[in-house]
Amino acid sequence: MTLTRRAFSAAAAAALAATPALAAGARRPIVIAHRGASGERPEHTPMAYRLAIEEGCDFIEPDLVLTKDGHLVVRHENEIGGTTDVAARPEFAARRTSKVVDGEQVEGWFAEDFTLAELKTLRARERLPELRPASAAFDGREAIATFQEVVDLAKAETKRVGRTIGVYPEMKHPSFLASLGLVIEPRLADALKANGLDSRTAPVFVQCFETAPLKTFAKLSRARRVRLVAGDAKDLVTAAGLKDIATYADGVGPDWSLVVPTLDGALGPPTSLVADAHAVGLAVHPWTVRAENRFLPETLRSGTAPAAHGDVGAVYRALFAAGVDGLFSDFPGLAVKARG
């Protein structure tokens, strides 16, 4: 079940009234399914996206890398050994290699060394099986998805559930890929245009940790852009840093601890990040809230087992109270419940 480009645009426009607002200062924050419902199903699989939609998310997030033959595929990293069965495939044993990706030495198998046809023979698996054994039970059931397949899924689900399901793609390692002759920005821009998503009001945000690719993308597409910010890059989320981001992006995606920091093992008061971002017209979509003890402040943990779920609701509520316009979660159903 798919919609044509025109039909999808019409369906999205008709459903926007029932969808949380997408701009800075929105009254109802959006819930972005981080790699799908990735706390419950292997990340970036169709089953993870469908479960997230069933749980009420507003956007699904596909991280994008490129194949050897230039296709956009959905993986969190270009190294695929941790999320597929490639290590168990003898025909690809010789593809194992070591590369320097964004200044870090990485060993394994890389999407850009495979054609799309070759990648489609692999099967996805859980990245964190020790923390998420229930998700790991679904290993091997689905193949690596292309970006087009994820867009088609969002179109079909928009029609099925009667509300707009947006897509929130991230350009992964664009400078590294460009050094190999694989340039992601025009390919993504073309894909958005082909699917009726090249506008300021389309249900799409394009995110990246790098500034230059976002500036390049702005020349190729009218889709909204979000600058991601790691927790150690606090200079980017000062008032001056946010003012600069506003010159090339529509939103900022900070590590959630930059919005609500942890102090002495507990959640502290919010910083001025949201107010400062809104002052220059930026939406704020922090990442990534996870339910397991390993990812929570000490006072919110339940017991000592790293995989046990703690009081993640306290994190959601603190972020919503701080005025964020949306947030990323591996457990979108819990985020929807906390949003109320």
The answer to whether the Cα torsion of 177, 116, 148, 20 is positive or negative is: negative
Instruction: Decide if 173 is catalytic.
Output: no
Answer for the pair 295, 315: CB distance below 8 angstroms, yes or no: no
Instruction: Decide if 278 is catalytic.
Output: no
- How far does CA 292 lie from the centroid of its chain? 19
3-state helix, strand, coil in the chain (%, to 5): 40, 20, 45
Local structure of 267: helix, strand or coil: strand
Q: How far is 125 from 133, CA to CA, in rounded Å?
A: 11
Active-site option among 34, 44, 173, 285: 34
Answer for the pair 214, 225: CB distance below 8 angstroms, yes or no: yes
Active-site option among 44, 71, 76, 173: 76
The answer for residues whose C-beta is within 8 angstroms of residue 247's C-beta and 6 or more apart is: none
| Catalytic residue ranges | 34, 76
